[in-house]
Structure 1
Amino acid sequence: MNQQRTGSAFSGWGFINLQKPAGWTSHDCVGKLRRLLGLKKIGHGGTLDPMATGVLPVAVGKATRLLQYLPKQKSYQGIVRFGVKTTTDDLEGEVITQKACSALTLAEIQRVLPDFFGTITQIPPAFSAIQRDGKRLYELARQGIAVDVPSRQVEIYDLQIKAWQPGDFPELTLEICCGEGTYIRAIARDLGERLGVGATLAGLTRTRSGGFDLEESISLEDIAAQRETGVFACLAPDQALAHLPAVVLNEAQVTQWSYGQKISWDVALADPLGEPLAVYDQAHNCLGVGEFRPSKDNPSERVLAGRVVLIGR
C-alpha cells in the first residue's frame, strides 16, 4: 500500500507508518530505513517481536524528539493456540508441554475472558526486552539465568473474539485494544493457565499504534521503490499529534518560540497546566510541543513554554 502523504515533499524528517514484516526485529527495520533514506537519525515507537507483523511507527530526523508524545493506545489481532506451552509464550520458543485439548469449548473461554478486561496484573514473558540490572530479560533467559520478572498493571480497553477453530489444539483469534506495556504473549499464556490447558501465541499483527493504522501502512519494499522514483515523502506530524490540543502561533510568536522564549497567552485559569500541546505556525508547520505554565512574574497569567522546540536560531 502507498503511504498517504500529509506534508510536502521528503524533507528529511517526519513519520513513517511502517508495515513490519515477519522475521524482522524493530531494530532491523530501523537499520534498513537508515540505508534506504541515507539518514542516521531514525527511531521507532513501540517494539514489536520478530514474529509479529503490522504497524511500527517510525520517526525520521528531528521527529524522533516527538516519539514520546505519540498516543499510547495500541490495537492487535492475535491468535492463541491452546494445549501448547513454550519458553517464550509464542511459537518462537521451545515447547515445554504439548497436550491435545479437543474438549475445550468456546463457551468455556467466553466465561473467563472478562477476567482479562480492564486493569489487570500481568507478568511479562521471561523472553522480553525489559531490562533487569542493565541487561535485557531475553539475554538472561538465553544464558539460562532464572530471573523473577516483576508483575505490572496494564490496561485492556477492549477484547473481542473474532474467530474460533476447534480441534486437538484449538485456536482463538482475538482483537485487543490496550495501553502501553501490555504483552499479548502474556495474555495468551495466562488465558491457557486460567483454562487449565496451557496456551501460547501463534500469530500477532498490530493493527494500530501511535495514531497510525495498518490499512495506511507502507512496506519496506514500497519505500525502496518510491525512493528509486523520487516520490517518497515522510508523513507530517499532524497525524501522530492529532490527539493533542493544538495552538497556532503568529509570526512574532514563531520568532519567540524559535529562541526558546516563553510566550504570553490568554487562556482561562481553569485550563489544565503542564499538559502537552501541539504547536504550529499559521501554515500548519509543526513547531514542536509546548505546555501552558503560570507566569513567574504574575502567577495569575499564563505563558506558553516549549517542551520540544523543532526550530532554532
Structure 2
Amino acid sequence: MLDKKKRKEDLQKLLLECKSYDEFLRKAFSYLQKENKIFNYSELARRGGFPSRSYVRQLILGQKHITWHSLEGICQAFDLTGLSKKYFIVLWEISNIKNKEKKIKYHSKLAGLTKQIQGKKTQIDTSMYELEDWPLIYASLGSEQEGASLVNIQQRSKLDLKQCVLILKLLEEKGVARQVNSHYFPISNHIALNELGGDQFFKKYFIKKLEALKKRAEKYFTSEQDLFFQSTTCIPLKKIKQFRQDLRELLLEYIDTIESADGDTTVSLLVSMYEN
C-alpha cells in the first residue's frame, strides 16, 4: 500500500490527465481499488461523509450527477485539497456550462491551475534575502521568452542603475537569472518558495519589509494606489493549517492572474495570518 503523499501525487497526476470530472471519478476509484484490494463504495462513502454507499456508487458509474451539496464530500472522499480540489471543482463547473464563451473562460482557469500545479519547484539560496531588493529586480525581468533590458529593469524597479547591476550579477551567480546579449531572463516567470518559516534569512527580510510598510502606511495611508487591509474572524482551531494553505494558494493564483511580463511597475504584497 502506498503512503498518503504518494497516493495524493498519483491522484493529482491522474486528475490533470482527465477531460471531465466523471472520467476522474471512475479512474480514481479504479486506482484506489488496485492500490487497496479491500477498498469499496462503502469506504468511499465513509470518507466523504455520505450516508449511503449506493449514492456514491451511482456517482462513480455516472448514473447521478454531483450537486453542490455532494461536491465537498466527493473532494473529501478522494482527498482532493488545495489546487487539486480547485481543479476538480472547475472541471465539475465546466460540465454544467452551456455557454461557449463561458466554457472557454473556465478552460482558461484550468490552464492556469495546471500551470500552478506543474510549476517549477525552484530551489534558491535564501541568503539572497540579505540583499533585500532582489525580489524587485526579479519581478522586473519580464517573461522567460522575452526577458528585459537593463533600462526596462531600472524603470520597473525604480532602483538606481548601480544597484540593478549589483543584484543582476547576484541573480546570475545564484542561477535564477541569465544574461543574453543586452537582455536578462528569469528562470521562471515567478518563483514560489515553500516553507520558509524557519529560514533566518527570510525572517530578517520579512521583518524589514514590515518596518518599511509601517513607514509607508504613515505616509501614504489614504493613497488610492496602496491597500492597507485588516480583518479578524472566528474559525475552528483545527482548520487553521488548512486555511493557511488555502490563503497561500489563493494569493498565488491572484498573483498569477495579475502578473504582466510587459508591465511598467512592480507591486509588493506582504501578508500574515496568525492566531490571536
TM-score band, normalised by shorter chain: under 0.3
TM value normalised by structure 1: 0.21
Higher RCO (C-alpha under 8 Å, 6+ residues apart):
1
Bigger fraction of residues in helix = 2
Q: Give the TM-score normalised by structure 2.
A: 0.23
- Structure richer in strand, relative to its length: 1
